């Protein structure tokens, strides 16, 4: 009996010993970089227990404007201090003298510190090159003057660039072969998401100090710098934005208190986005508040009379309108007295004054010829469908720079053959939905003489040393576009919107750049607490008229009919761009 107990006890010990060995093998050899369902990196965790460190650069790729100015970060020379200084004797007076601050201020911040930190009171104290040299010459343990990368808390073009965050589950779904790295930040919206795989870091750049159990320095004054070994990475994304224009336009949009809406500015020649302003503004602490992370310049909206440009193009090319034909513009779509008694107007005048009756009638004629014509011409003008650059990039097929809504003219086939529905569609109501990006693209297409191009948001991916990893070539589509003759007629009509005394754009007659464009006021069918219907107010155009350079869209969404006009904002933007160009 006793022998059996000995055998049982021995076997139990052997099993426990084998389990212990198996556990050690699991921890030390097999799952060192991806332990448990949480995929914990045990090597990194063990190093963290015996070091103090501060990140100089998190290693994620960043964004530049078209002139290589940083959009999402800034690099500054700052002073890094380690908390173990409070237990040492060191020449704090000399450092304070170099910094031109009081010694008490310096020691007070160190005394409060529990981990390495950037010296400051509120904002980091920026050092001159001379101060950097003087501080590092002293070789004081735990005192280092370095160049540190700071991520902007309130970056320009926040929705266009997008936000990042730590989402381990999303990371592993997106990159199942990168277990153990899931605590890195990934792109959640905007370009951050679209270009995420290019931006992922190989590792952070850090100042690392080995410490003993009491938190004191282990290796004297030796500090270890760790960072990616490949000098070409991380890559940076060179956007098409102009940082200076983006800044000017954001300030103007905020000056005019646009709560929902924004501005989109295109370079006509290259069809590149120069500025993208979306409001409401993102609150960095609560980015999803008011759904502010959405870039409204890429979201479909009701356009109102902006859509009459499509009806005009289709009417010209199909011949459903006669040059001197007159329209009863004192009547509405249903032959009742209109709110504006405009009298009888010809085709050009009807467009300038934005006569609903004329374009409701023309839409019905187009429907009689072919119910698909409105959709066909919306595509020819670059107003619906995929607008942004897309193509094969490395192992990505049909890679898209932007994820914009594709827009629509009709959502149901039945809508195309109903006279009343089609008439309302002709003035940009009912099921018509387009993005501000697409409206700007339409204006640029007309300004170029009908040549359609994909819109670019990014021009190149750049290595860390500034050389080009890849660029994004121009993409055009000449086969399915309006004729040059039609484009020229549309150009004249868009210009008359501004020059005509009855034109809805006459506000812009005296600007330093000659403007061509179209207004739009769309009913949304939504009412506020005062029972006022809310409207989308637009103006879209291009300038200078004779040598087109810019296409501009301004939109104020969901405002009462007698509030939120955007003409003063559009005007000030053109004035600001003119001054910038000079």
Catalytic residues: 305
Structure tokens at 113: 């510190």
Q: Where do we find the tokens 């049909």?
A: 398
Burial of 542 (0-12, 13-18, 19+ CB in 10 A): buried
Residue 504 backbone phi and psi in degrees, to 5 = -75, -5
Structure tokens at 336: 């009742």
Check if the beta carbon of residue 270 is closer than 8 Å to that of residue 241. Answer: no
Residues 307 and 411: their CA atoms lie apart, in Å, by 16
- DSSP code of residue 415: G
Check if the beta carbon of residue 457 is closer than 8 Å to that of residue 190. Answer: no
Check if the beta carbon of residue 240 is closer than 8 Å to that of residue 273. Answer: yes
Q: Which conformational region is residue 412 in: left (phi greater than 0), alpha (psi within -120 to 50 degrees), or beta?
A: beta
Q: Quick count: other Cβ atoms within 10 Å of Cβ 577? A: 23
Tell me the C-alpha to C-alpha distance, in Å, between residue 287 and each of 71, 158, 291, 369: 18, 10, 8, 49
Residues 479 and 470: their CA atoms lie apart, in Å, by 27
Angle ∠(70,71,73) on CA atoms, nearest 5: 70
Residues 264 and 268: their CA atoms lie apart, in Å, by 12
Residues 278 and 292: their CA atoms lie apart, in Å, by 8
């Amino acid at each position: 009996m006793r022998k059996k107990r000995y055998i049982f006890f021995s076997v139990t010990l052997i099993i426990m010993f084998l389990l212990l060995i198996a556990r050690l093998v699991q921890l030390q050899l097999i799952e060192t970089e991806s332990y448990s369902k949480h995929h914990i990196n045990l090597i990194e965790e063990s190093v963290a227990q015996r070091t103090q460190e501060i990140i100089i650069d998190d290693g994620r790729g960043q964004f530049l404007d078209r002139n290589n100015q940083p959009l999402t970060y800034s690099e500054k020379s700052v002073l890094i201090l380690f908390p173990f200084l409070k237990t040492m004797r060191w020449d704090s007076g000399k450092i304070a003298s170099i910094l031109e601050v009081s010694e008490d201020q310096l020691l007070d911040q160190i005394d409060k510190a529990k981990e390495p930190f950037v010296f400051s009171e509120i904002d980091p104290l920026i050092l001159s090159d001379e101060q950097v040299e003087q501080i590092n010459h002293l070789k004081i343990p735990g005192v280092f003057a370095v160049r540190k990368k700071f991520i902007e808390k309130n970056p320009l073009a926040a929705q266009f660039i997008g936000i990042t965050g730590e989402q381990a589950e999303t990371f592993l779904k997106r990159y199942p072969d990168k277990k153990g790295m899931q605590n890195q930040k990934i792109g959640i919206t905007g370009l951050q998401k679209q270009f995420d795989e290019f931006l992922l870091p190989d590792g952070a750049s850090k100042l690392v100090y080995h410490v003993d159990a009491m938190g004191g320095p282990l290796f004297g004054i030796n500090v270890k710098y760790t960072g990616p070994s490949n000098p070409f990475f991380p890559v940076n994304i060179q956007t098409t934005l102009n940082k200076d224009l983006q800044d000017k336009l954001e300030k103007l949009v905020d000056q005019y208190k646009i709560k929902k809406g924004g501005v989109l500015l295109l370079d006509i020649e290259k069809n590149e986005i120069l500025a993208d302003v979306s409001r409401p503004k993102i609150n960095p602490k609560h980015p999803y508040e008011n759904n502010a992370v959405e870039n409204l310049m890429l979201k479909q909206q009701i356009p109102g009379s902006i859509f009459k440009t499509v009806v005009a193009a289709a009417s010209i090319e199909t011949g459903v309108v006669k040059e001197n034909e007159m329209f009863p513009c004192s009547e509405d779509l249903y032959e009742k007295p209109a709110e504006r008694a405009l009298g009888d107007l010809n085709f050009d005048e009807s467009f300038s004054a934005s006569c609903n009756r004329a374009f409701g009638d023309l839409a019905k004629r187009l429907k009689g010829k072919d119910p698909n014509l409105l959709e066909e011409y919306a595509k020819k003008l670059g107003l619906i469908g995929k607008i942004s650059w897309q193509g094969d990039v490395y192992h990505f097929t049909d890679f898209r720079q932007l994820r914009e809504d594709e827009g629509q003219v009709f959502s149901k086939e039945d809508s195309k053959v109903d006279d009343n529905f089609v008439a309302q569609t002709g003035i940009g109501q009912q099921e018509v939905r387009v993005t501000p990006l697409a409206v700007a693209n339409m204006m640029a297409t007309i300004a170029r003489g009908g040549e359609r191009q994909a819109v670019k948001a990014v021009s190149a991916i750049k290595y860390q040393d500034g050389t080009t990893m890849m660029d994004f070539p121009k993409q055009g589509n000449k086969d399915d576009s309006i004729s040059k003759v039609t484009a020229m007629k549309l150009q004249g009509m868009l210009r008359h919107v501004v020059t005509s005394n009855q034109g809805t754009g006459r506000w812009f007659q005296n600007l330093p750049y000659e403007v061509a464009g179209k207004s739009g006021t769309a009913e949304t069918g939504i009412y506020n607490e005062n029972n006022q219907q809310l409207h989308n107010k637009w103006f879209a155009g291009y300038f200078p008229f004779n040598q087109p350079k810019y296409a501009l869209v301004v939109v104020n969404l969901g405002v009462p009919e007698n509030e939120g006009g955007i003409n003063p904002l559009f005007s000030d933007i053109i004035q600001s761009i003119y001054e910038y160009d000079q």
